[in-house]
Amino acid sequence: MAYINELTVLTFLLILGFVAGTFAEGRHYNSIKKRERMLKRIPAISMRTPPDMNCDQVLVSGNIVIANDYFKLFVAGLKGIFGGQLNTYESLLDRGRREAVLRMKEEARKLNARLIVNVKLTTSNLGVAQNKSSGSLEVYAYGTALIAK
Amino acid sequence: MKYETPDIPEGINVAPRNHLVDFLILTVGAVVIILTITFLLSLASNYIAKKIPFETELTFSEPFEEIQNAENQETNDYLRSLIATIAVCSDLPEGMEIKYNYQGMDLVNAFATLGGNIVLFQGLINKLDNENELAMIIAHEIAHVKNRHPIQSLGRTAVLKMAFSLVIGNSATNPIENSGLLTSLKFSRDMETEADNEGIKALNECYGHINGATAVFRKLEDLQQKQPITPLAFLSTHPMNEDRISNIEALAKNNNWNRKGLLIDLPKSIKTKIEKIEKIKKTE
């Protein structure tokens, strides 16, 4: 029964994915929430024109590549058969977007910016091979930081 | 105008949800569906496998074949002619050909596989007392080939592998694996009974009696009883029981087949010393 081995590996990966994934996600969210409070004084808004033209304008950006754990990928794979909302991807995307915005704000903070306008987010799927997604994605956030002259 | 960052509300973009519950529901659902499909497909494959022409079976089994002969030419000639004789008695359909394979291993086994290949092990030959016993085994294996059991078994294996690769996620592997001599396929109990029935009929056709037919199965059973630690390979591929032996006896009774006929001796040269399995493993 060679299948027993494969089943064992699958079960091991699922458990490992679930435990490690839950741990990593919890830790990441804690860090995100903490830094969001720290960087709250630099608002990032989507308005296209700066409210005050009398300041320097600098492009700032933040980028993150993040992967889903095996357990969530597996559940998403099953959902891919039956259909339905891919809830297991939601936290991945949420973490990605918030982390990218935070990194962009980090850059703005170093420039002593007081506001970031025209903020945009792009997402792309990474590691697409053999028509299979590896479940990792890149989120890129960019905007125009306004620095007082 | 004042700009500020509001706190990001939790639980909107990420719906609070227990993924473990999702996982359980989806997995159980998938398993039930896959099992149902597998069951239906294996029923279908049994039906379809018999319809596949034997020539087609040859086209996909031949690349994996590696016909092996004994070192002793006399043994080869004898076994080949015995198989040919029994094949004639078995009334094979046109175009079906039995291929003789010999393995010098210390394994009490014989099996039939794809492409009309029959594999005989020296270990089994050494345990036999007369030609009639050997003929019964060969007739049984030929009956497997005649009734297309190897390809049915292959179909079932392929379906199971496909179902499994659906779950595990790797691409389906070639169901005919192991290059060289094809490994033995598992046959169902019904297939074994069918092979018994046709095998003994062929034996009667060849010799005019069925003496030795039940004796050989009994003998293998007894051998197993005496040394239960090392299981006989033949019995693991051909699960034997009292039912099967009494089925053969009942068949003989109903058809009025002679159960006490002349037993033919095996040629002396055929029982040879056998290569030890350890030695073969080393050379591999």
pLDDT tens digit sequence for A6-28: 788 889 999 999 999 999 999 99
**Mutation site, B10, B12, B13, B26, interface A, largest A CB count within 10 A:** B26
pLDDT at B284: 43
Domain ranges of chain A: 2-148
Q: Is A83 helix (H, G, I), strand (E, B) or coil?
A: coil
Higher pLDDT, A5 or A100: A100
**B28 neighbourhood in chain A, CB within 8 Å:** none
The pLDDT, as a whole number, for residue A1 is: 55
Q: Which residues of B touch A87 (CB under 8 A)?
A: 15, 17, 19, 22
Distance CA B45, CA B41 (A): 6
Residues on chain B touching A98 (C-beta within 8 angstroms): 8
Grouping H, G, I as helix, E, B as strand and the rest as coil, residue B138 is helix
The dihedral built from the CA positions of residue B71, B72, B76 and B82, taken in this order, carries a sign that is: negative
pLDDT, average across residues A69-76:
89
Nearest residue to A95 via CA among A60, A64, A134: A64
Q: What was the pLDDT predicted at B178?
A: 46
Partners of residue A91 in chain B, C-beta under 8 Å: 14
Residue A38 above 60 pLDDT? yes
Determine contact: A45 vs chain B, CB below 8 A. yes
SS3 B94: coil
Of A18, A78, A98, the CB nearest to B8: A98
Confidence of residue B231 (pLDDT cuts 50, 70, 90): low
Q: Answer whether B14 sits within 8 Å of A82, measured CB to CB.
A: no
How many angstroms separate the CA of residue A40 from the nearest CA in chain B?
6
Residue A101: how many other CB atoms lie within 10 Å: 25
Distance of CA B256 to the CA centre of its chain: 31
Q: What is the mean pLDDT of residues B188-206?
A: 89
- Whole-number average pLDDT of chain B: 82
What does the pLDDT read at residue B213?
86
pLDDT for position A43:
93
Structure tokens at B206: 């060849």
The answer to whether residue B31 scores a pLDDT higher than 70 is yes
pLDDT in tens, A76-110: 888 888 888 888 889 999 999 999 999 999 999 99
* Region of poorest pLDDT, from A35-44, A53-62, A127-136, B91-100: A127-136
d(CA B115, CA B59): 8
Instruction: Express each pLDDT in B164-176 by its tens digit.
Output: 776 666 554 555 5
Question: How would you classify the pairing of strands B110-113 and B117-121?
Answer: antiparallel
**Chain A nearest CA to B202, separation (Å):** 35
- pLDDT tens profile B205-218: 999 998 888 888 88
Q: Find the closest chain A residue to B26 by CA distance.
A: A78
Task: Please tell me which residue in B57, B131, B133, B141 is annotated as part of the active site.
Answer: B141
> Is residue B10 among the annotated active site residues?
no
The mean pLDDT of B184-192, rounded to a whole number, is 79
For chain A, what is the largest distance between any 2 Cα atoms, rounded to a whole number of angstroms?
Answer: 74
Cβ neighbours of residue B257 closer than 8 Å, sequence gap 6 or more:
B200, B204, B209, B210, B251
Residue A147 CB neighbour total at 10 angstroms: 15
Record: contact B8-A6, CB cut-off 8 A: no
Average pLDDT in chain A:
89
Judged by average pLDDT, the poorest of A87-91, B2-6, B193-197 is B2-6
Site from A70, A92, A94, A98 to mutate, B interface, most B CB atoms within 10 angstroms: A94
The complex's ipTM? 0.75
Predicted TM-score of the model (pTM): 0.62
The pLDDT value recorded for residue B173 is: 56
Measured between beta carbons, the chain B residues lying within 8 angstroms of A74 are 23
pLDDT band at B86 (very low <50, low <70, confident <90, very high): very high
Residue A77, chain B, CB below 8 Å: the answer is yes
Q: Which of the two residues, B11 and B206, has the higher pLDDT score?
A: B206
Domain A2-148, classified CATH 3.30.390.10, yes or no: no
What is the enclosing helix (H) or strand (E) of B200?
A: helix B189-207
CA distance, residue A139 to nearest chain B CA (Å) = 16
**What pLDDT was estimated at residue B177?**
55
pLDDT recorded at residue B182: 57
Nearest CA-CA distance, residue A76 and chain B, Å: 9
**Whole-number Å distance between alpha carbons of B89 and B85:** 6
In the predicted model, what is the mean pLDDT of residues B113-138? 90
Indicate the DSSP class of residue B148.
Answer: T
Residue position matching structure tokens 């830790």: A27
Question: Among A1, A78, A88, which would you mutate to test the B interface (most chain B Cβ atoms within 10 Å of its Cβ)?
Answer: A78
pLDDT for B174 equals 58
- CA-CA-CA-CA torsion for A21, A23, A28, A31, nearest 10 degrees? 180
Q: Is the pLDDT confidence value at B118 over 70?
A: yes
Classify B91 as helix, strand or coil. coil
Residues with Cβ within 8 Å of residue A58, at least 6 apart in sequence: A111, A113, A144, A145, A147
Interface contact flag, A75 B19, Cβ < 8 Å: yes
| pLDDT one-digit tens code per residue, B146-158 | 999 988 888 887 8
**Of A61-65, B54-58, B225-229, B248-252, minimum mean pLDDT range:** B225-229
> pLDDT higher for B249 or A139?
A139
Inform me whether the pLDDT recorded for A149 exceeds 90: no
Q: What is the mean pLDDT of residues A133-146?
A: 88
Q: What is the 3-state secondary structure (H, E, C) of A22-81?
A: HHHHHHHHHHHHHHHHHCCCCCECCCCCCCCCCEEEEEEEEEEEEECCHHHHHHHHHHHH
